[in-house]
Chain A
Amino acid sequence: MKLNIASISEFVIGDAQADRVVPPTGFTATLTLFSAAAMAFLAVFALALSLAAGRLADRWGEELARTSTIRISAPDGQMTAQTEAALRVLQTTKGVASARALDEDEQRALLEPWFGPDVPVDTLPIPQLIEVVEEGDGFDAQGLRLRLSAEVPGAVLDDHTRWRRPLERAASRLRLLGWVSMGLIGAATAAMITLAAQAALAANAQVISVLRLVGARDDYIANAFVRRFTLRALTGAAIGMVAGALAILLLPSADAGGGFLTGLGFRGWHWVWPLFIPLLAAAVAFAATRGAALRTLREMS
């Protein structure tokens, strides 16, 4: 069968007479509809997981890659002087866009998730943090470390490399997991529809025998089954996709303190992606049913 617009539209519009030659089958119709709907529902979540993981990986990668932190540990009397010295060094460092010392409120906010609100930052021996934002190709970390060790003995440069890489790796794995899940869902859909199609073909062995007796070609017989299963899968997957998208919509919205799970969903044009799930399900059903039908017809010869 040549795959072009004309053949696709001919397939979708169908042949009313040809559709009637295969009697309607109850349980295989329900099985196909239900499995396509369930799989599409799961696929929406797998897709959302994958896209959210992708966003997370990009965000972590970008945010952590463009910033560094300098931690200054010094005796009480020297903290301000060392902080100012470090800022002076940074002002003259090539590749540094800006640098600023975090104030008490910002440091308190960083500690809040672990120690709770109202942390007495001023009474705790915590280091002063300086946020460094990079520009262009960034700065020479090794060179900056040498300058800091010479001019600000209590300063330690953290360019986030040791955090960024595992986080990026974790997010990438999560994204891969999402796509693998999509693949598994597609394979499971194909397997279930193949089984349903084979059951329908076996149940209609007598119909196939009559059709062959009157000169039906294998393509004609296969198409009668393929079109029916493809349209059922398309309908079931559309229902499942809408249900999945609604469920995603009803998830708590992402906010600053929400973390990863509340960020699970689609943003902007990413809402277009779920629309492809029913089409993909129909394509999987088409290939699975056609393969099963032609194989079964060959075996029935």
Chain B
Amino acid sequence: MIELDNVAYSYGGGELLSEISLKLAPGSFHFLTGPSGAGKTTLLKLCYGALMPTAGEVRLFDGDVRAMERDDIAMVRRRVGVVHQDCQFLDHLPVADNIALPLMVSGQDMLREDANLKELIGWVGLKARAGALPPELSGGERQRAALARAIIMSPDVILADEPTGNVDWEMSQRLLRLLIELNRMGKTIMIATHDLALIRAAKAHVQARVLRISNRRLQLAGADL
């Protein structure tokens, strides 16, 4: 599905990631951890074609990312739901439209998708906030809206970058439950987080592989996690 083979990424003359090999199999659940600035976000971006590797090979759904046109990468992103740390909304559109954005840009019939959209908004608990503008939402509401937008196209893979970074413990547990539920539906999940408590909480409910970025390299985390 998503495969990185001996990948390196450099920026500004310095190497941020080195010798990264990773394979996200269908239905798997991964945590990506490491200190701030270790390169978690960079690795996630490599996984959905937002960045190009400076060495090695990134294969997205069997296609070499370096051989892809921009339109091919756009098609890949319809199969990969991304939850950004800062959510990235269009602030002039209501929450419901922001959630529906992937449907709009892929030319789906919005009338036909209306029932699904409402169901999804209800599932993430934002029914009452559907007409609000993103700046009017709380941190937790923003994260849930971002998660809803990431999964509305029923993607094969969900990549979440610090999805619980700006929310309280209760909300982070709620978001985690949503992600675990999605994994049970067969979605591949990778969550970048430095919140070890979240990882421990998840491991009680799902078989997750925990990866750590240390000294630019990716390694399996120890048994302490």
Contact = CB atoms under 8 A, between A and B. Distances in A.
Interface of A: 17-18, 20-21, 23, 206-207, 209-220, 297-298, 301
Given A210-B90, A213-B88, A301-B70, 17 more contacts: A18-B104, A20-B93, A21-B105, A23-B90, A23-B92, A210-B88, A212-B74, A214-B149, A215-B74, A215-B78, A215-B102, A216-B74, A217-B74, A218-B74, A220-B107, A297-B70, A298-B70
Given A17-B110, A215-B78, A215-B106, A210 B71 contact: no
A214 B153 CA distance: 9
Nearest to A211: B105
B89 to A, nearest CB: 7
B12 to A, nearest CB: 18
A64 B98 CA distance: 72
B90 A218 contact: no
B88 A209 contact: yes
Nearest to B79: A215
Contacts of B104: 17-18, 21
A214 B71 contact: no
Nearest 6 A/B pairs, CB to CB: A216-B105, A215-B78, A215-B77, A23-B92, A214-B102, A217-B74
B156 to A, nearest CB: 13
Contacts of A209: 88
Nearest to A17: B104
Interface string B124-156: 000000000000000000000000010001000
A234 to B, nearest CB: 24
A21 B90 contact: yes
A181 to B, nearest CB: 40
28 contacts: A17-B97, A18-B104, A20-B93, A20-B97, A21-B90, A21-B101, A207-B90, A209-B88, A210-B90, A210-B101, A211-B101, A211-B105, A213-B88, A214-B77, A214-B78, A214-B101, A214-B149, A215-B74, A215-B77, A215-B78, A215-B102, A215-B105, A215-B106, A216-B74, A217-B74, A220-B107, A298-B70, A301-B70
Nearest to B76: A215
Contacts of A216: 74, 105
Contacts of A220: 105, 107
B84 A213 contact: yes
A102 B29 CA distance: 107
B74 A21 contact: no
Given A17-B110, A301-B70, A214 B93 contact: no
